[in-house]
Amino acid sequence: MPDKRRRVVITGIGAVTPMASDVEGTWKGILECRSAVDYTTLFDASTFPTTFSGQVRDEALVRQFDGDPELKHSGRNVRFILVAADQAFRDSGLDPAKMDSRRTGVYLGAGEGPPDCVRFGQLLADTWTGTGVDTAAFLSGAVVSLNNLTEVFQEPNIAAGLLARRYRALGPNMTCLTACAASSQAIGEGTAIIRRGDADVIISGGTHSMLHPFGLGGFSLLTALSRRNDSPQTASRPFDRARDGFVLSEGAALLILEELSRAQARGARIYGEVLGYGTTGDAYRVTDMHPEGRSAKSAMRMAIADAGIRPEEVDYINAHGTSTDVNDRVETVAIKEVFGEHARRLPVSSTKSSIGHLIAAAGAIEAILCLLAIRDGVLPPTINYRDPDPELDLDYVPNACRKANVRIALSNSFGFGGQNVSLVLGRYPL
């Protein structure tokens, strides 16, 4: 049994998303039913099967690190999370200089940094023999043309290391990369670390940018992305009959997880409590979800059991809701089965309709949006919901935000390959 004597609350949040370079701007845009999706301008994507994305448009935010001798080699993912972490720390009122370093840790769901596409691609081109790459020529070319730190910054663990250094966090330090479930997993496992007593504060969340030619190209090949190139703003339409794929986005979201009594002792503002966490594997196919959502259901049930609540107590679900045919159908079926009669009254929305899919960072931003729904008593909408799919008949909070008393929210994150994570977040005090 999990040790429930130590409880975990969220006392600081930060985010950089395609909608805005902070949490409140992102929340406002979502409640106003805006779409953060537009044509990709980071590189010329006009010939790709999908020409649009959820790109972070704040270039000044990205460029602020260009003068730093070390960080100038970092990718967008690293820059996003450094900004989000600053916001979250300021928001939390914690002073890293006064914290017990050994009791502060980091658990991120972080993606790899963007590759050096142009230089790497050119190397492959220059060493292509007609049937394969001449590896000897590649090696001798690469030592000249590739940059050490640019390669180093592609490692997914760099962000967690930099945060540890910046905030003097000498406690447990982890990075997980369970595809689209990664940062939800990080929040769940980070909570487990505090509950167990191995840390009092965990800097958690995620960051990712796959908005580069190989990332956009790779997802296009999987036919997972929407190709609604004539209307980017309406491309992400979770649960709608005409949904045709997800929208690739980038960004970071960061949450300060803190042991409850410590947060109370310092009079911290508490956004909510991590009540429950579930993690399961589909064990089905690497390309498809299990058709009945077998392990998606067990992840939700596990999180609900961990929270010690009844399913009927869940007031809102922030769905994984990618806008792909299969996910939205299977997730709907799974929710109906887990919640039974309650599913008919249970609002379920996908904020990916507004901001797209932040991949490894998706779960963390969606957890933050759940906390804001609890704080403000407002449900974020599923926008672009126009043509109901007859099989998909839940209350998707279509096209307008809605006032609601939210005590408990559940957030789903399902990764490619069958990684399923559910989090239960509650108001504090309930």
- Catalytic, 290? Answer no
Catalytic residue (choose from 212, 320, 370, 401) = 320
Minimum CB distance to other proteins, residue 314 (Å): 20
Dihedral angle of Cα 223, 227, 232, 234, to the nearest 10 degrees: -90
Provide the angle, in degrees to the nearest 10, between the axes of the packed helices 294-307 and 325-339. 50
CA distances from 282 to 153, 180, 298, 320, 421 (A): 31, 14, 10, 15, 11
Q: Does 302 bind other proteins (CB under 8 A)?
A: yes
Q: Is 280 helix (H, G, I), strand (E, B) or coil?
A: strand
Given the complex with other proteins, which of 19 and 216 has the nearer CB atom?
A: 216
Cβ atoms of 138 and 235 within 8 Å: the answer is: no
Given the complex with other proteins, which of 20 and 199 has the nearer CB atom?
A: 199
Task: Please choose, out of 57-65, 184-192, 234-242, 406-414, the segment that lies near other proteins by the rule CB under 8 A.
Answer: 184-192
Site for other proteins in 10-69 (CB under 8 A): 43-49
Please report, as a single letter, which amino acid is at residue 187: I
Site for other proteins in 240-279 (CB under 8 A): 279
Residue from 166, 342, 375, 402 that binds other proteins (CB under 8 A)? 166
How does strand 408-415 pair with strand 419-426? antiparallel
How does strand 173-176 pair with strand 378-379? unpaired
For residue 424, what is the enclosing H or E element?
A: strand 419-426
Minimum CB distance to other proteins, residue 325 (Å): 17
Bridge partners of residue 272, in order along the sequence: 10
Structure-block tokens of residue 209 = 């940018």
Distance CA 321, CA 347 (A): 13
Q: Does 419 bind other proteins (CB under 8 A)?
A: yes
Given the complex with other proteins, which of 132 and 267 has the nearer CB atom?
A: 132
Given the complex with other proteins, which of 12 and 172 has the nearer CB atom?
A: 172
Minimum CB distance to other proteins, residue 386 (Å): 29
Site for other proteins in 104-163 (CB under 8 A): 105-106, 110, 112, 117-118, 120-122, 124-128, 130, 132-140, 142-143, 146-149, 151-152, 154-158, 160-163
Minimum CB distance to other proteins, residue 409 (Å): 22
CA distances from 128 to 14, 120, 142, 323, 392 (A): 45, 12, 13, 38, 49
Minimum CB distance to other proteins, residue 384 (Å): 25
Count of all residues that appear for the chain in the document = 430
Catalytic residue (choose from 208, 357, 370, 401) = 357
Given the complex with other proteins, which of 235 and 392 has the nearer CB atom?
A: 235
Across 102-200, the runs of DSSP E, i.e. the strands, are 104-110, 173-176
Residue from 184, 280, 323, 422 that binds other proteins (CB under 8 A)? 280
Size of interface with other proteins, in residues (CB under 8 A): 103
Catalytic residue (choose from 180, 212, 370, 401) = 180
For residue 166, what is the enclosing H or E element?
A: helix 158-166
Given the complex with other proteins, which of 270 and 334 has the nearer CB atom?
A: 334
- Catalytic, 180? Answer yes
- Catalytic, 370? Answer no
Of 115, 131, 133, residue with least CA distance to 123: 133
Site for other proteins in 202-241 (CB under 8 A): 213-215, 217-223
Minimum CB distance to other proteins, residue 373 (Å): 27
Structure-block tokens of residue 17 = 């998303």
Residue from 17, 173, 318, 422 that binds other proteins (CB under 8 A)? 173
Distance CA 35, CA 384 (A): 9
Site for other proteins in 356-415 (CB under 8 A): 415
How does strand 38-39 pair with strand 52-53? antiparallel
Distance CA 213, CA 210 (A): 8
Task: List active site positions.
Answer: 180, 320, 357
